[in-house]
Amino acid sequence: MGVVHGQEMVLNIGPQHPATHGVLRLQVKTDGEVISEITPYLGYLHRCFEKHCENVSYEQVIPFTDRCDYLASMTMNFGYVVAMEQLMDIKVNDRVQYIRVIMAELQRIASHLLATGVFGLDLGAFTPFLHMLRDRERIIDLFEMTCGARLLYNYMWVGGLSHDLPKGFVEETLRFLDYFEPKVDEFENLLGHNKIFVERTADIGIMPAEVAINYGVTGPNLRASGIKWDLRKDDPYSVYDRLDFEVPIGLGVKGTVGDSWDRFYVRLQEIRQSINIVRQAIDKLPKDGDVHQSMPKKIRPPKGSIYSRTESPRGDLGYYIESDGSDTPYRLKMRSPAFTALGVLNEIAGGWLMSDVLAILGSLDIVLGEIDR
């Protein structure tokens, strides 16, 4: 925080504040209502993830990854097992791959529902939030049916899955999708075209594409700035190259490309794409195949390192794993997408009003558990 001039004031938002989506302190320098500088202070949720990983075996890391991004645990598991399987050169069968894709996409829907719902809530729209949580609940029920847990699943294991799909899962999922698909249009009308919401978000917190790339912003936030970049398409892992889907980008429908409304709308469209992917994956799901088939008895990767990226609901989720040939990772680094998304806040929120800061922060969809690790 630099020099404070006359008329200027330093304010703290958080750490305990519902709009910070966790425990985050923003030190804000204001001139009247106008923000001149934001300094985020992180670390309130730091749980020494990387240090812990050096002390536990490779399979014991998976529950820790759950707890990093607790709103998208499935995709956190997914990223880790993809990295491990690349490091150990394990090929898993198609049934496992398709189940993983189904789970990851359902998780993406759940995560985006919460992200858009809470975004509305931050701006005072309470009703859409309740509608979205109601439908998110159905997805969580599906997960509970599969592995017994509602939030932290520990479902994807290196070389396989903890359980096969339970009886009736596919029918239940299809029933949910049939119910849910029209609801997305409802959300769009309820929140996206609401006049107050549009006034609060369109043309607010514009993130130009070069800024986004320079700050390492990824995922829906980057796509809202008009760049078609999705690891599921551009560097396909698992079986995403066999599935047909679109990558929605921000078009500036209500304002400028890369504004807060675009970030909201990209997420909403991604929900539609995810529904589409889940349907295709269910169609292609092989009937037989043991989900424990390729699981190694002892996870002991050869000496070497790997940097592997997957697309989590928040962006490029990278795992850097270095193995020294023993049972525990020598070094494990998680490259968190929300960490870089928060880094851009000062750049795009400067010059806006105090009330816009919450709109911009909400549109970035950060999860502090993943930022602080």
Partner 1 sequence: MSEDKQKLINDAVEKALSGDADAVNNIEDRVTRAKAKAALVKAKREQPKKEDSNDDASKSDEKEQPLSDNTVQKVSASLIAKFPKSLDGEQNSDWIQLKPESWFEIAKWLKDNPDFYFDSLQCNTGFDLGEGLLESRYNLHSMKHLHSIEIRIKVSVEKPDIPSVESIWRVADWFERETYDMFGINFIGHSDLRRILLPEDWEGWPLRKDYEEQETYHGIVVPKVKEGWE
Nearer to partner 1, 37 or 203 (CB): 37
If one asks whether residue 373 binds partner 1 (CB under 8 A), the answer comes out as yes
| 345 HSE (CA, 13 A, CB side) | 29
- Are 15 and 354 in contact by the 8 Å Cβ rule? The answer is no
| The one among 115, 227, 291, 361 contacting partner 1 by CB under 8 A | 227
- Are 77 and 153 in contact by the 8 Å Cβ rule? The answer is yes
Question: Around Cβ 74, how many Cβ atoms within 10 Å?
Answer: 27
| The one among 30, 274, 340, 363 contacting partner 1 by CB under 8 A | 340
Q: Considering the complex, what minimum distance in angstroms separates the CB of residue 314 from partner 1?
A: 15
Stretch touching partner 1 by CB under 8 A, among 92-100, 112-120, 165-173, 233-241: 233-241
How far apart (Å, rounded) are the C-alpha atoms in residues 264 and 176? Answer: 23
Interface mask toward partner 1 for 286-305; x: CB under 8 A: ----------------x---
If one asks whether residue 235 binds partner 1 (CB under 8 A), the answer comes out as yes
The residues in 17-56 that bind partner 1, with binding defined as CB under 8 A, are 42-43, 46, 48, 50-51, 54-56
Q: Considering the complex, what minimum distance in angstroms separates the CB of residue 371 from partner 1?
A: 9
Counting DSSP H helices and E strands in the chain, the numbers are 15, 8
How far apart (Å, rounded) are the C-alpha atoms in residues 319 and 78? Answer: 11
φ, ψ of residue 181 to 5 degrees: the values are -55, -50
Stretch touching partner 1 by CB under 8 A, among 20-28, 125-133, 171-179, 230-238: 230-238
Closest CA to 81 of 58, 56, 106, 105: 58
If one asks whether residue 335 binds partner 1 (CB under 8 A), the answer comes out as yes
How far apart (Å, rounded) are the C-alpha atoms in residues 307 and 296? Answer: 21
Interface mask toward partner 1 for 239-278; x: CB under 8 A: ----------------------------------------
If one asks whether residue 352 binds partner 1 (CB under 8 A), the answer comes out as no
- Are 158 and 85 in contact by the 8 Å Cβ rule? The answer is yes
Q: Which amino acid is at 139?
A: I
If one asks whether residue 77 binds partner 1 (CB under 8 A), the answer comes out as no
Give me the helix-helix angle, 94-122 and 126-147, nearest 10°.
160
Binding site for partner 1 (CB under 8 A): 42-43, 46, 48, 50-51, 54-56, 86, 213-216, 227, 229, 234-235, 237, 302, 307, 309, 316, 318, 320, 322, 331, 333, 335, 339-340, 343, 347, 372-373
